Structure 1
Amino acid sequence: MRALLVVNPKATTTSERSRDVLIRALRSAVDLRVEFTRRRGHAVTLVRDAAQHGVDVVVTLGGDGTVNEAVNGLMGALPYLPPMDGTTPAERLPALAVVPGGSTNVFARAVGLPKDWIEGTGVILEGLRAGRFRTIGLGRADDRYFTFCAGFGLDAGVIRRVERARSRGRVSTTALYLRSTFGEYLATDRRHPAISLERPAETAVDELATVIIQNTTPWTYLGDRAVSPNPDASFDLGLDVLGVRQLAVASTTRTVTQILSPRTNPHGRQVVQLHDVHEFTLLARRPEPFQLDGDYLGEREKVRFTSVAQALRVIC
């Protein structure tokens, strides 16, 4: 079995020694090639090329951003692979294995892998030897795929603030996210919601201030606590959507409390929730911040979302 290991050398929870241990462990099970990412987007190219040349498994060591790039590399290789009638994308593409090496590792935990990279490696080795995997669906935003979440508006603005703080040397912590959320909330134009959601053959939903899209649950973690605005989201279904109309202090406080509660789904006059949606478009009257899988991707005025069923096999 041929495998590619894509390593993000800046992964926050691993060291050179731990990477050496991982490489030796994987080489005991597969014919392994190791590549280190050198810039943002590099993993996309590495994985796409490996998939086109017949690798069987792609393993990532990094956080959710590295996973997202690897997934986009895999899906980007699909048009270049030999056609196979009646097969799903997952059956044509190499499998994906994820060793958690970031600060949060939402995707790895969502597919059931342990938070610790050593334990996660053990699970992956067992899965490789037993041929054990699960097939998942993905989300797609315009021409880019995502594994667990997307955001348009406030939550993407928070990620923008966090990334700027990290570029100045700040460490990614729960406290940093909370401060960034408060700062972004104060800076947002709360009186003039600019986002509309359109679906085929459905009435448009207008005047949304922020929209959270999930392909699975949870949306994120605060420490070890899972947070999920759309608790019924699943890799096996379409996309789930939470839109918030107004960001007044009282209603926003109530919605955030509901989101953080493990027992209460978000609800109320200011909340719009959609389950198992396969296609929709977000449009904004002014440029809004946009993120996929926790990576800030700039400002957009329009994004088309689709659900891609049975897209990928994940070793777990």
Structure 2
Amino acid sequence: MIWFVLNPKSGTTTPAKRNKIIQAINKQANCRLILTEYAGHATEIAQQAVQQGISRVVAVGGDGTVNEVARGLVGSDTALGIIPIGSGNGLARHLNIPLKIDKAIQFAIQQPTAQIDACYLNEIPFFCTAGVGFDAFVANEFAQQESRGLKTYAKMSLKSFRTYKPEAYVISHQGKDYAKMAFSITFANATQYGNNALISPKSKIDDGLIDLVVLKPFPFGAAPIIGVRLFRGTLPNSRYIDMEVSEDYVLKSEKPLLIHFDGEPLQLDTNEIRVYIKPKSLKVVAGVVE
């Protein structure tokens, strides 16, 4: 038995297209479709699936829905599948999951599984990226918009760039402290945010390590070049980038931190976070894992 979990409020699809997705899933043998009803419901469904010995739970939605389902499966023998209908589809893209719905459904049912790492930020699970600074600020602004998609995200990024100011952080790992002024700081388990924006192109999702990407303050004129590098996968070559690799980090700021995890914003009531990894603790339905 395979369960499909669909968030009816998730993704960028129209109601008509969503109905087609529902019909396509309902046609599959030995599959059950469950619609979520509230925030966190997808995690509860995933946990129930584990208890009942369900072999696969397929998240139908965006990165937020994928995160909710995945957090309920970590440490179990139940595999995560993905039907990507979100704005960025970061984990699906990294795992080489088809973006076309019909192909993604068959992929979720038939494709073999692999083990990947799960990461945590103050006990909050993430599977692609998490971080602070500009990216978290934009994620918070984006979450408040009525329309979704790359166009809206790009619009909010440009608007935010005009007003956002770099901040001071202290990052600790491997017994050393590093004081840094940063425009953004990303903890990467996978290569990208989504939409093939490759913030950490060399990240491997099953190596037991978290890649730290610090984007230092840069002049306004460098922004277009940084943007091009982001999508071409050459960002590490920029002089405005510092990168480290470790199993865990502690980050401190002068004020409570606004974070993002897999694109979801969250305002914390603490100025300190710990980021760590649980190697190969999540089973996924995937193409070639990198």
Q: What's the TM-score, normalizing by structure 1?
A: 0.81
Equivalence map 1:1-316=2 (5 Å): 2-11=1-10, 12-13=12-13, 14-25=17-28, 28=29, 30=30, 32-75=31-74, 89=75, 92-127=76-111, 132-166=112-146, 171-190=147-166, 193-221=167-195, 226-237=196-207, 238-250=209-221, 252=223, 254-263=225-234, 265-268=236-239, 270-275=240-245, 277-299=246-268, 301-316=271-286
Task: Indicate if the aligned counterparts of 1:154 and 1:289 stay in contact, CA closer than 8 A.
Answer: no
Q: Work out whether residues 244 and 271 of structure 1, in 8 Å CA contact, stay in contact via their aligned partners in 2.
A: yes
Q: CA deviation at 1:239?
A: 1.1
- Contact map agreement 2:190 2:203 (CA 8 A) in 1: yes
Could you tell me how far apart the structure 2 residues matched to 1:99 and 1:23 are?
14
The letter of the residue matching 2:236 is N
Deviation at 1:93, TM superposition (A): 2.6
Asked if 2 retains the 8 angstrom alpha-carbon contact of 1:246 and 1:252, the reply is no
What is the root-mean-square deviation in Å for CA atoms of aligned residues?
2.1
Poorly superposed stretches of 4+, deviation over 6 Å: none
Number of equivalences: 280
- Give the Cα–Cα distance (whole angstroms) in 2 for the partners of residues 97 and 45 of structure 1: 16
Question: Offset of 1:34 from its aligned partner?
Answer: 3.0
Instruction: Give yes or no for contact 1:209–1:245 (8 Å, CA) kept in 2.
Output: yes
Deviation at 1:172, TM superposition (A): 1.6
Question: Is there any run of 5+ residues in structure 2 with no aligned partner, and where?
Answer: none
Identity %: 21
2:212 partner amino acid: V
The CA distance in 2 between the partners of 1:305 and 1:103, in whole Å, is 25
Taking a change above 3 Å as real, the CA distance of residues 197 and 59 of structure 1, as seen in their structure-2 partners, is: same
Q: Deviations over 1:77-110 (max 9, x none)?
A: xxxxxxxxxxxx3xx4311111122233221121
Helix, strand or coil for the counterpart of 1:189? Answer: coil
Q: 1:232 to 1:182 in 2, by over 3 A?
A: same
Q: What one-letter code is carried by the residue in structure 2 that aligns with 1:53? A: Q
SS in 2 for 1:176: helix
Per the TM alignment, residue 162 of structure 1 is displaced from its structure 2 partner at its CA by: 0.9
- SS for the counterpart of 1:109 is helix
SS of alignment partner, residue 242 of structure 1? strand
Q: 1:183 to 1:110 in 2, by over 3 A?
A: same
Measure the CA separation in 1 of the matches of 2:64 and 2:224.
30
**TM (normalized to structure 2)?**
0.88
Q: Partners in 2 of 1:251 and 1:205 — Cα distance?
A: 23
**What is the letter of the counterpart of residue 283 of structure 1?**
K
1: CA distance, partners of 2:36 / 2:235: 41
Give how far 1:219 is off.
2.6
Task: Name which one, 1 or 2, has greater alpha-carbon Rg.
Answer: 1
